[in-house]
């Protein structure tokens, strides 16, 4: 069996494609169902965020499994599989595990060190667990991934500053307009991303802060938290916001434009050349890209955020080496666990064989020496078991050390062969091939055959 991850992210795919493969929980369940019902992918987890879609899987052939996984995505989204492969990347073996830990720690995010991804990774695993799409290997793997991510957040400063896509948007507004104390800010939406943005904007103490949302109660709750005003979201309110505000941030992502070119063009007539910053952090986008053609309008989407807050990330960059060491430790721990799954049953079988031999010898001795008292029998039994344990101690110790040091369970198999052992491996246990793994962009040259 091979561990793999195949995915598309902000590093490899444009926002237009990421919008099309951004999966909700229902779509994720459909993909998990296809994975679970196949023989190609035995265990799977689907991670879908605004900036990445990744499928982690376990299967007998990583090449066939990655192709099947993207075929499942194509079936759910309607996106051509060949197009997905043009922008996909693949990690296998140790590289796949290491990649998952880097993602959980925020080292592969748009904004380095952002903390939201750990919760998203946890939710993705929980959904797969609920859908019975994971087994013993991925249950252990994702517990290790989440553990490393939590360590990175709690034991380093990698996630202590307010760095996220929402914060990057606020920083970009400051870069364009300067300090926001004299600026009017409008946030469209009241969900998680919009809430983070509203909190970051409130920290800048703008002249005014307005929350627009279709559900007024949610807008009012967020507004009360950040000291803003709240109004229901409709076209008239958006048009008014485009005329009055200096900064408009949208974070709804419902698949249709909340801000159109025509609305902005009308607003700019009334603004008389006053600059307008529009920050669209939603996927799918809330703002028509044609808006950027209007004079004095500065439109930014999620693809424009990378590098915006680089100056704020110096300390986190210094912490990266510490996090990398944690990741190395996590990879080793998972590798050791994999090896132990092969070693432990052999060692248990060896001890059982020793105990069985002792019982046979002891039974024969009692038959031949019926005069032995119960106390004598206990003394002899104790010394015989001591012989068994002393005889097995070094072979057991050495096979454990050799297997864990090399990551090769064949030492345990050799031990089993030497002692003629037969042991129960369990119906849910699988052999996972392990090594340095491989990574590559899944371009046409590496694409699996379409048979």
**426 marked as binding residue:** no
**389 marked as binding residue:** no
Q: Are 228 and 222 in contact (CB under 8 A)?
A: yes
Nearest residue to 185 via CA among 167, 197, 168: 197
CA 34 from centroid of its chain's CA atoms: 20
- In 227-350, the DSSP E strands lie at 229-232, 247-250, 276-280, 297-301
**194 marked as binding residue:** yes
* Catalytic site residue from 3, 45, 50, 302: 50
**310 marked as binding residue:** no
**115 marked as binding residue:** yes
**384 marked as binding residue:** no
- Verify whether residue 105 is a known catalytic residue: no
**20 marked as binding residue:** no
**12 marked as binding residue:** no
CB-based contacts of 349, cutoff 8 Å, min separation 6 = 416, 421, 422, 423
Say if strands 208-213 and 52-59 run parallel, antiparallel, or are unpaired: unpaired
Radius of gyration for the chain, computed over Cα atoms and rounded to the nearest angstrom = 29
**7 marked as binding residue:** no
**105 marked as binding residue:** no
CB-neighbour burial class of residue 337 (10 A; exposed 0-12, middle 13-18, buried 19+): middle
Query: If you search the block for the tokens 């369990």, which residue do you land on?
Result: 426
Give the chain's length: 451
DSSP 8-state assignment for residue 306: T
**143 marked as binding residue:** no
**109 marked as binding residue:** yes
DSSP string spanning 85-149? HHH-EEEETHHHHHHHHHHHTTTTSSSTT-SHHHHHHHHHHHHHHHTT---HHHHHHHHHHHHHH
**114 marked as binding residue:** yes
Residue ranges of the annotated binding site for NADP(+) are: 189-194
Residue ranges of the annotated binding site are: 49-52, 109, 114-116, 120, 189-194
Residue ranges of the annotated binding site for substrate are: 49-52, 109, 114-116, 120
Q: Which residues are catalytic?
A: 50
């Amino acid at each position: 069996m091979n561990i793999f991850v195949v995915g598309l992210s902000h590093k490899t795919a444009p926002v237009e494609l990421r919008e099309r493969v951004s999966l909700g929980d229902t779509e994720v369940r459909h993909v998990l169902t296809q994975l679970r019902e196949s023989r190609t992918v035995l265990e799977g987890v689907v991670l879908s965020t605004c900036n990445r879609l990744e499928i982690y899987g376990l299967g007998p052939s990583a090449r066939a499994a990655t192709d099947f996984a993207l075929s499942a995505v194509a079936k759910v989204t309607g996106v051509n599989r060949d197009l997905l492969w043009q922008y996909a990347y693949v990690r296998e073996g140790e590289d796949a595990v290491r990649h998952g830990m880097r993602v959980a720690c925020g080292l592969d995010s748009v904004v380095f060190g952002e903390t939201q991804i750990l919760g998203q990774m946890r939710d993705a695993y929980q959904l797969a667990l609920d859908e019975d799409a994971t087994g013993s290997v991925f249950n252990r793997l994702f517990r290790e991934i989440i553990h490393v991510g939590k360590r990175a957040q709690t034991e380093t400063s990698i996630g202590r500053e307010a760095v996220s896509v929402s914060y990057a948007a606020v920083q970009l507004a400051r870069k364009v307009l300067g300090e926001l104390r004299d600026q009017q800010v409008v946030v469209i939406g009241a969900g998680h991303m919009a809430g983070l943005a509203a909190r970051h904007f409130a920290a800048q103490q703008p002249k005014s802060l307005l929350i627009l949302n279709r559900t007024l109660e949610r807008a009012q709750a967020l507004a009360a938290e950040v000291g803003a005003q709240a109004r229901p979201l409709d076209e008239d309110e958006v048009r008014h916001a485009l005329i009055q505000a200096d900064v408009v941030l949208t974070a709804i992502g419902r698949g249709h434009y909340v801000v159109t070119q025509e609305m902005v063009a009308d607003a700019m007539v009334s603004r008389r050349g006053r600059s307008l910053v529009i920050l669209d952090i939603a996927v799918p986008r809330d703002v028509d890209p044609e808006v950027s053609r209007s004079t004095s309008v500065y439109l930014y989407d999620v693809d424009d955020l990378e590098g915006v807050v680089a100056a704020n990330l110096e300390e986190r960059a210094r912490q990266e080496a510490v996090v990398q060491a944690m990741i190395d430790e996590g990879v080793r721990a998972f590798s050791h666990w994999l090896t132990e799954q092969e070693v432990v049953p052999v060692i248990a079988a060896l001890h059982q064989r020793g105990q069985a031999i002792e019982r046979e010898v002891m039974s024969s001795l009692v038959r031949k020496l019926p005069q032995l008292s119960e106390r004598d029998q206990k003394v002899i039994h104790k010394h015989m078991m001591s012989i068994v344990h002393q005889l097995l101690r070094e072979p057991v110790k050495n096979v454990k050390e050799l297997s864990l040091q090399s990551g090769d369970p064949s030492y345990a198999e050799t031990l089993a062969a030497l002692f003629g052992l037969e042991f129960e491996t369990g119906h849910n246990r699988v052999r996972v091939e392990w090594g340095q793994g491989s990574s590559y962009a899944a371009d046409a040259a590496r694409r699996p055959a379409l048979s």
